[in-house]
Amino acid sequence: MASKAESKAGDIAARRGIYFQAFGIYDGVAGFYDYGPIGVRIKRKFEEAWRSLFVNRTGALEIESTNIVPEPVLRASGHLSAFTDPMVACSICKTPYRADKLLEEYYEKRGMGAEAAKVKKMSMEQMEKKLEEHAIKCERCGNKLGKVEKFNMTFRTQIGPTAGGNAAYLRPETAQSIFVDFIHLYKTYGFKLPVGIAQVGRAYRNEISPRQQLVRLRELTQMDLELFIDPEEDPSEILGFDTRSVLREKVNFVAKGSEDERSESIDELLKRGSLPNKYMAFLIYLQEKLMQELGIDKRLYRFRELEKEELPHYSKGNVDLEMKTSYGYIELSGCASRSDWDLAQHSKESGKELSITTESGKKVVPHVVELTVGGDRPVFAILDNSVVDDDGRGWKWLKLSERIAPYRYGVFPLQKDEKLIAKAREMFRLLQEKGTDCYYSETASIGKRYARADEIGVPYCITIDYTTLEDDTVTIRSRDTTKQTRKLIGEI
């Protein structure tokens, strides 16, 4: 597992303020990061691309719910008992660590990939034994580690001003409010199955030892799509998509019990049982389409079927989307077959009936197939894989697709000449009026302005020079090739 300093995009992110540790003037707090203006734009572009495909294209209903969740909700969902990670603390300085991550790091540093993969299947007792066997010590003081124990990652608070107020939590995931709101939305909108209900928002996880920048955060963005289905249906069409087209799509896949990545059709995965139903196949298909739309090299990501020991308590089968980074493969999203676990549990805890009646008159508690995407990890992974170390230019730059680049154009006057500045500002205003993402700069030499634009991934720079004043043409410089062409302002 690579150290923080080895992130490819880390130096660009810090220098250009794309993202940075929160509360910096107070020496920061692990697991909390802020986005600067450039980072915000990149992150929102990713969210917009996700929403365009998973919400707008599927006709899903989108909600926005509260960040604070009453205790009964998380008791029903199982988070109070099962939302845990294996923690081990130093016997002397008490610094906490995730036991599984310490072991994975130990094996990966020694090129023992197969052993690292086995850690996910280990019990806490087995992890403790391996930590002792390999003499893995505290990273901070070098002393012996203690017992491996379960640590619940929920952030606890209370509703009301007194000590006897109702117990509550910052939500550990955005999904539960979708399940709680399901019956109200059904009665309000009168939809039929299948139906998608989506949400983009913040989630909170009290990580034991967050590290690796945006990869392990205590406050993060989640993008959820919960697909409510009738488990007895065998659809030929799902939310406007022909199932035949879905099943023909090929993806890079690592099957359960294997370490080998293979290119397989979604139909093959379905027939083999790696995907439990066509609805999960549909969500895998959409994720593949999203990666293609974002211009991500197919060799950089894969889908991986989770082992039985890795499955969350509610899951009947999970497939993660993973992407290669400086830190190895990291999970970007999880696709889960949740059966009727959530609605059944909330019905039991609340005492409310959460079944619905289908068009055929059948009473059913809908099953759920879920897609949860992190909003921060994909940004990190995309940036990490977009860095070009260009000796010819003399600076590193980000080769971002136009779909996710913070701006399409940078607009620059060639020099600090009032006539050029006035014309450049006029050009900038015209682009703004068209709704084009662009920014304006007249500071520093034109070469330095090109370098700054390259660094943050801007595809094109428009330069207003003295020829512009004569014939209304401008120079357009391509980020990827550095080639310059002239165009009439009216053609842009």
- Section 3-12 average pLDDT: 70
Question: Does the structure show a pLDDT above 50 at 383?
Answer: yes
- Using alpha carbons only, give the angle 92, 94, 97 rounded to the nearest 5 degrees: 125
Mean pLDDT of 206-215: 92
Residue 343 clears pLDDT 50, i.e. is over it: yes
Query: So what's the pLDDT on residue 67?
Result: 97
Question: d(Cα 414, Cα 477) in Å, to the nearest integer?
Answer: 13
Point out the least confidently predicted range of 117-131, 172-186, 413-427, 442-456: 117-131
pLDDT of residue 246 exceeding 70: yes
The Cα 266–Cα 273 span in angstroms is: 11
Confidence grade of residue 6 (pLDDT, cut at 50, 70, 90): low
Q: How confident is the model at residue 25 (pLDDT cuts 50, 70, 90)?
A: very high
At 379 the pLDDT is: 97
For residue 5, the model assigns a pLDDT of 42
Task: Specify the pLDDT at position 163.
Answer: 67
Strands 318-325 and 328-339: antiparallel
- Same CATH topology for 4-69+172-385 and 407-491: the answer is no
Residue 474 confidence (pLDDT): 97
Alpha-carbon torsion angle 108, 114, 119, 125, nearest 10: -110
C-alpha dihedral, 388 to 376 to 117 to 130, nearest 10°: 110
- 72 token code pair: 């009964």
Instruction: Report the alpha-carbon distance of residue 480 to residue 86 in Å, rounded.
Output: 45
**CATH code linked to domain 407-491:** 3.40.50.800
Mean of the pLDDT values across residues 438-444? 96
Average pLDDT, the chain: 94
How many of the other CB atoms lie within 10 Å of CB of 15? 12
Where is 106: in which H helix or E strand? Answer: helix 99-109
Q: Which of the residue ranges 231-235, 274-278, 313-317, 477-481 would you say has the lowest mean pLDDT?
A: 313-317
Nearest partner of 201 among 304, 39, 66, 43, judged by Cα: 66
User: Region 230-250: what's the mean pLDDT?
Assistant: 95
Q: Are 186 and 345 in contact (CB under 8 A)?
A: no
Q: What are the φ/ψ torsions at residue 117 (nearest 5 degrees)?
A: -65, -30
pLDDT at 417 over 90: yes
Nearest to 438 by CA among 474, 401, 405, 409: 409
Mean pLDDT, residues 419-439 taken together: 96
Q: Is the dihedral of CA 135, 138, 141, 146 positive or negative?
A: negative
CATH topology of domain 4-69+172-385: BirA Bifunctional Protein; domain 2 (3.30.930)
- The predicted model gives 62-79 an average pLDDT of 96
Q: What tokens does 78 get?
A: 């199982």
- Say which residue the tokens 């020694």 belong to: 110
Q: What is the mean pLDDT of residues 237-259?
A: 95
Region 56-69: what's the mean pLDDT? 97
d(CA 492, CA 487): 7
Neighbours of 197 (CB within 10 A): 25
* Strand 328-339 with 367-374, pairing: antiparallel
For residues 444-455, average pLDDT: 96
pLDDT classification of 373: cutoffs 50, 70, 90: very high
pLDDT at 481: 96
Sorted by where each begins, the domain ranges of the chain are 4-69+172-385, 407-491
Q: Report the share of the chain in percent with pLDDT over 70.
A: 98
pTM reported for the whole predicted model: 0.92
Residues in the chain: 492
Q: Is the dihedral of CA 139, 128, 217, 151 positive or negative?
A: negative
Task: Give the C-alpha separation, 44 to 5, whole Å.
Answer: 26
Give the sheet arrangement for strand 149-152, strand by strand.
96-98, 84-89, 149-152
339 pLDDT tier (thresholds 50, 70, 90): very high
Residue-wise pLDDT for 132-144, tens only, equals: 999 999 999 999 9
Q: Are 33 and 133 in contact (CB under 8 A)?
A: no
Could you tell me the pLDDT band of residue 7, with boundaries at 50, 70 and 90?
Answer: confident
Residue 231's pLDDT is 92
pLDDT at residue 1 greater than cutoff 60:
no
Residue 3: predicted pLDDT: 40
Tell me the mean pLDDT in the region 12-24. 94
